[in-house]
Structure 1
């Protein structure tokens, strides 16, 4: 996708100077010997993959280096937080929070994907990459302390507290103060990242590595997609991506206290979620990521659906939205006025060898927020939510239900319903009428449903 920037008058906007695209710090390609050996064995499919990779790097790299403009007169909303960009403190908090998100993009130079010879996902893997980003957002909330951020200066120490922004408090501040005494001294990444939270952060990044053993890497996601009739090189819809993420988390031994639930027929069945999360004492309630595949009307979003999306992105429980047309999927994180904020996976970077000690992290973070008009958002998408515990889950249900019921003109884009889904009822030999019900203040409307994971109920 080649999103355009805002057309607002320059006097109402400010380019956020220094918010740059982190491509210059990306890891280097594999060594020449390995590259020659790879070139000798690659077939036409690999050559095509390399060509597409190079083309996307030029096409989308140029687009990503363009700067979006942000208005000072209205707040930026991201993951339930509001930031007034005219306020220096809020602007800096927004910088840190945005640059702390994991940015998963196309990669090249990894080992061949299952069932073929592709060594890059450039040109077809954007939905899987946006799915990775949504899952990564949930994992950071699940594993890191509240308010955690990651921010590393690329050059020398500038000011006492400009370099490190974390929840380590006085310890981090003291480190920076001591280091700043030597103005011309470059501070190594290793010394910056030698902190307990960074070890956990680095571990989460490694789970998304482009390696067959990574639980949420591209190799594993492609393998899990085979059961849905997909293979490397195919386009994965937002709904299928949601089910692949559910299977990946279920198969991982690293997250025993987290489950993923995927809504069916635009309905979150509460009994199904509780059955997934409840465990006998002393284990307690599991945390849950809820993924809701939806289609927001027809080809274009109307004002009612845009209002729904805004209200959901305003909630602290929302962990983002993945979606877009084939080969043009984005990860939406928030909005300002009539524009969505997003992370773009359409930039092909060299793969990172996560087996190296202190492997480079810069290419997994983007300090450059982008915007696009709501009118350009494709109606097919998957919305994500996260609840840490049972109390959070109940609060999530209340908050989302209120956000979805404030419009009397349209049916909600999805609902919460007591009971079990049709699939669970069939497993228990319980009769079902193959209908999903969309609740309203006055009565309810029945909708015929389909078992296909890539079809949606049009509301």
Structure 2
């Protein structure tokens, strides 16, 4: 099996490396809201790319669910991309967009705690284990390939148990972003008691993003006043064409990477998921999860060896016209003012300038929709599997937004 996966991996990497080196071009480069002149700022650009969290296939981790796969090679690429878009939101939330990673030197405690949220173990709140098992509630078996909307729904569920990051994840429905609903979710009172994330064994998590402190001097969970804005990860699943991307959407897609709230785009090709972080000319720049690395040993305690969590080579590129039409846009708004600014940018730069809109931005909850109820953590003290069964009716899946499996 490992030989088969290695062959599959090599085929993907040969294709991905085709446009690897960044060109010596006068075209502006945009990376998650930051502008770069590649001729004069190439080192700054590459430092920015290296600082993004890079989650890839891993092997030799503890079996998912105790008896499941011990590697996600060949099926977990969209899950890894979901980790990357969430990881970017958490970096902005705790360290700011201007933070940069260095291969040597000490990193902030918050950085290491963020990494612990994604370690390949059952009790890390956004691990491949938790995501794959939570995907069962979205109709996906462990080991089955995911699309961008399903991953967004999984992150939305898991974020309910993440007390430390205290992130509101809003996934738009029917190509519509409702301002009233988002503010209702982000400003809701935070009075309920929050139990730790249930693990696959039914025990509360002691590591990752649990409500209990890690075994190191990390900062304690934040306290929230009833009216305080909960930082927002906004995910907008879209279908920008039938079998290929409609050219009328290309310029709008570029505009999203220019926004300071940009958190990247989930997408790729059929059964090949990438995390897109920017563009140059008519090419998208992305991080590729199709690289199988050994699972990181975290038993020795923090800080973990983080070298393999940062891509230290030139980023990959692909023609925008080769993008599968099923994508999910991601944005991070740390404050209510930040969200209001994003709404204004969308109105001025996207909706008013184009006849064919990618999505709708509306002020009020549509009257013909069911009432909006902000998602809350179910009061369960049970196993991970039972948790999935008890919550799979709280969120809807929109399979029409998924990447085509052809």
The TM tier, using the shorter chain, reads 0.7 to 0.9
* Cα separation, 2, equivalents of 1:208 and 1:427: 28
Separation (CA, whole Å) in 1 of partners of 2:36 and 2:132: 37
**C-alpha displacement at 1:282, in angstroms?**
6.0
Go from structure 1 to structure 2 and tell me whether the alpha carbon gap of 1:328 and 1:295 turns closer, same or farther (over 3 Å shift). same
Runs of 4+ in 1 over 6 A off after TM superposition: none
Task: Identify the residue that residue 364 of structure 1 maps to in structure 2.
Answer: 309
- Structure 2 residue corresponding to 1:99, chosen from 22, 27, 50: 50
Distance 2:188 2:143 in 1: 39
1:213 aligns with 2:166: no
Partner of 1:340, secondary structure, is strand
Residues 1:285 and 1:359: Cα distance change in structure 2 (over 3 Å): closer
| TM-score, normalisation: structure 1 | 0.70
Q: What is the RMSD computed on CA atoms of the aligned residues?
A: 2.2
Residue 360 and residue 317 in structure 1: after superposition, are their counterparts in 2 closer, same or farther (change >3 A)? same
Structure number with greater Rg is 1
Cα distance in 2 for partners of 1:393, 1:241 equals: 23
- Does structure 1 residue 305 correspond to structure 2 residue 249? yes
Matched, 1:266 2:175: yes
Please show how residues 33-432 of structure 1 align to structure 2 within 5 Å: 48=1, 50-62=2-14, 67-87=20-40, 90-114=41-65, 116-152=67-103, 189=104, 192-193=105-106, 195=107, 197=108, 199-256=109-166, 258-279=167-188, 281=225, 284-357=228-301, 358-367=303-312, 368-410=314-356, 412-420=357-365, 424-425=370-371
User: Which consecutive residues of structure 1, in runs of 5 or more, have no partner in the other structure?
Assistant: 1-47, 153-188, 429-450
Whole-Å separation in 1 of the counterparts to 2:142 and 2:371: 34
Contact 2:244 2:325 in 1 (8 A): yes
Structure 2 distance, partners of 1:126, 1:283, is: 38
Q: Distance in 2 between matches of 1:397 and 1:272?
A: 13
Q: Give the unaligned 5+ runs of structure 2.
A: 190-224, 375-395
By relative contact order (CA 8 Å, sep 6+), the higher-ranking structure is 2
Whole-Å separation in 1 of the counterparts to 2:8 and 2:127: 20
Q: Distance in 2 between matches of 1:137 and 1:303?
A: 28
Q: Structure 2 CA distance, aligned partners of 1:395 and 1:130?
A: 26
**Paired residues of 2:269 and 2:322 also in contact (CA < 8 A):** no
C-alpha distance in structure 1 between counterparts of 2:110 and 2:227, whole Å: 22
